[in-house]
A = this chain, B = another copy of it.
């Protein structure tokens, strides 16, 4: 399947690497292709520059946001949440329209230090902002509640016995994403929270998630909804 992944950072690398490994035709999108190709310095968080990472994932193509949105039959938004709306505008509404957009981004605002606050929350969410800005795109919020490695390999902790959430306005799109989460990545327990306003819930979960990371000393954890 032709898949577009917007964003070259840790989440973009995890998603595109896994999808390429599964044999999909993956393009990763960036704002400035030349700049991304020229940058070889590891990110301060420890993951490699995309250009370095790509040498070990040679089937993954690099393109502009627009190239990538055009390429994908489905598109993943793995950009920084505070820049997602701008990145999606560069990707182009006509390239995104009527496609499923899996929105993984979190609107984390690090401008006041760490832990970050959210740049939108409580009575709105990034997922809703994206859906409003692109009314004909089928936005499904998913995967934004776990660290990148777990997104595509939940079995890395607790034998995969934990929970992931989806929400969005299009029932068929959510059913499709749920199937992908299970089939491609190995998720066993996927809870459909409802429409895209539920992105407020999964995005506002980030503050406790970041604090659990601090308390546990690792991002390799997730919650299992016990019921």
Interface residues of A (CB under 8 A from B): 112, 117-118, 121-123, 157-158, 161-163, 165, 167, 191-194, 198, 200-202, 204-205, 207-212, 214-216, 218, 220-227
Q: How far is the CA of A201 from the CA of B162 in the complex (A)?
A: 20
Contact indicator A225/B200 (Cβ below 8 Å): no
Residues of B within 8 A of A202 (CB): 208
Chain B residues within 8 Å of A123, by CB: 112, 117
In the assembled complex, 22 residue pairs joining A and B whose CB atoms fall closer than 8 Å, in A order, are A117-B122, A118-B122, A121-B121, A121-B122, A157-B226, A162-B224, A163-B223, A167-B211, A192-B215, A193-B208, A193-B215, A194-B215, A198-B211, A201-B209, A202-B208, A204-B207, A205-B205, A205-B207, A205-B208, A212-B225, A221-B226, A222-B225
What 10 A-B pairs are tightest by C-beta distance, nearest first?
A201-B208, A158-B226, A221-B227, A223-B223, A201-B207, A201-B211, A204-B204, A162-B226, A224-B224, A193-B211
A218 surroundings in chain B (CB, below 8 A): 227
Residues of B within 8 A of A207 (CB): 122, 200-201, 204-205
Q: Are B191 and A215 in contact (CB under 8 A)?
A: yes
CA of A112 to CA of B223, assembled, Å:
30
Asked if B121 and A157 sit within 8 Å, CB to CB, the answer is no
Complexed CA–CA distance, A214 and B212 (Å): 25
Residues of B within 8 A of A165 (CB): 208
Smallest distance from the beta carbon of A57 to chain B beta carbons, Å?
28
With beta carbons under 8 angstroms apart, the residue of B158, B200, B227 that contacts A227 is B158
- Closest B residue by C-beta to A198: B211
Residue of B nearest to A161 (CB): B226
Contact of A194 among B112, B211, B223 (CB under 8 A): B211
Q: Which of B112, B205, B221, B227 is in CB contact (< 8 Å) with A225?
A: B221
The smallest C-beta distance from A149 to any residue of chain B, in angstroms, reads 13
Residues of B within 8 A of A205 (CB): 204-205, 207-208
